[in-house]
């Protein structure tokens, strides 16, 4: 190997050339993650609004979470699309008694945040939004079921399935973008990523199992498992993108 080959890329080396600028397939930044997350929650809340199974209170809750994540992303990135997404989240809050308006504004907000997260890679932004948004919406709606246990459970099942599919697809996207192989120094972090991803899927399967149980206890168990799944989801989404971005232990 010639001297000067020091820039590591996917287990190989690139020339230390001042004209060469390495751009990873996923550029991880807190605003990008927040935009992804906000877009996923906006899409999930739009789906719940379309189903018309809960009152306006849930839309206020979900849209407030979307707004909190979105403002964080907008302040960090200055993206006009992130601010547009925030404005649409406010519109959902104001129009929560109109399911069509809440659904349309929620979908539009998801699109705006998706564009704002494009720096994270278009495909990775989409899979991450489904992953983070599905689990987050599942957890919030599960808590709403604790307020009104008479609500139908099929909505929670759909969200759990969507989150599980999102977890598997997001893992596959990150693998395709080069999350493997790791350098020796990143091995522990890489193993942690795999454990977090698998644990998330196992917890979501547990959610589906808990929802098959009769009575209030089944929903309580499903909600608790979805809360744990949210924690592992955040870890898997962030750590996986750190590995692809090459920011781990750098």
The pLDDT value recorded for residue 92 is: 92
What tokens were used for 192? Answer: 């942690």
Provide block-wise average pLDDT over 10 residues at a time, the chain (250 residues): 35 43 60 94 95 90 95 93 96 89 95 89 90 95 85 93 95 87 78 94 96 87 94 93 70
What tokens were used for 178? Answer: 């080069």
The pLDDT value recorded for residue 19 is: 42
The pLDDT value recorded for residue 162 is: 95
What tokens were used for 239? Answer: 């750590």
The pLDDT value recorded for residue 15 is: 44
Give DSSP secondary structure letters for 80-126.
HHHHHHHHHHHHHHHTTT-HHHHHHHHHHHHHHHHHHTGGG-HHHHH
For the CA atoms of the chain, what is the radius of gyration? 19
């Amino acid at each position: 190997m010639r001297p000067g080959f020091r820039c590591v890329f996917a287990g190989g080396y690139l020339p230390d050339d001042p004209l060469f600028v390495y751009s990873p397939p996923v550029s991880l930044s807190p605003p990008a993650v927040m935009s992804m997350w906000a877009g996923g929650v906006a899409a999930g809340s739009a789906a719940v609004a379309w189903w018309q199974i809960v009152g306006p209170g849930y839309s206020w809750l979900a849209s407030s979470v979307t707004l909190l994540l979105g403002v964080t992303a907008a302040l960090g990135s200055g993206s006009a699309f992130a601010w547009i997404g925030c404005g649409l989240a406010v519109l959902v809050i104001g129009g929560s008694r109109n399911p069509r308006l809440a659904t349309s504004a929620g979908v539009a907000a998801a699109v705006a945040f998706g564009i704002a997260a494009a720096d994270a890679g278009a495909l990775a932004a989409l899979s991450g939004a489904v992953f983070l948004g599905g689990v987050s919406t599942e957890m919030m709606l599960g808590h709403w079921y604790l307020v009104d246990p008479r609500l139908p459970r099929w909505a929670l099942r759909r969200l759990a399935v969507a989150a599980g599919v999102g977890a598997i697809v997001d893992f596959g996207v990150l693998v395709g973008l080069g999350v493997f192989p790791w350098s020796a120094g990143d091995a522990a972090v890489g193993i942690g990523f795999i454990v977090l991803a698998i644990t998330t899927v196992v917890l979501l399967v547990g959610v589906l199992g808990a929802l098959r149980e009769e009575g209030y206890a089944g929903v309580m168990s499903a909600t608790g498992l979805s809360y744990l799944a949210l924690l592992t989801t955040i870890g898997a989404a962030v750590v996986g993108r750190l590995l692809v971005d090459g920011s781990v232990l750098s």
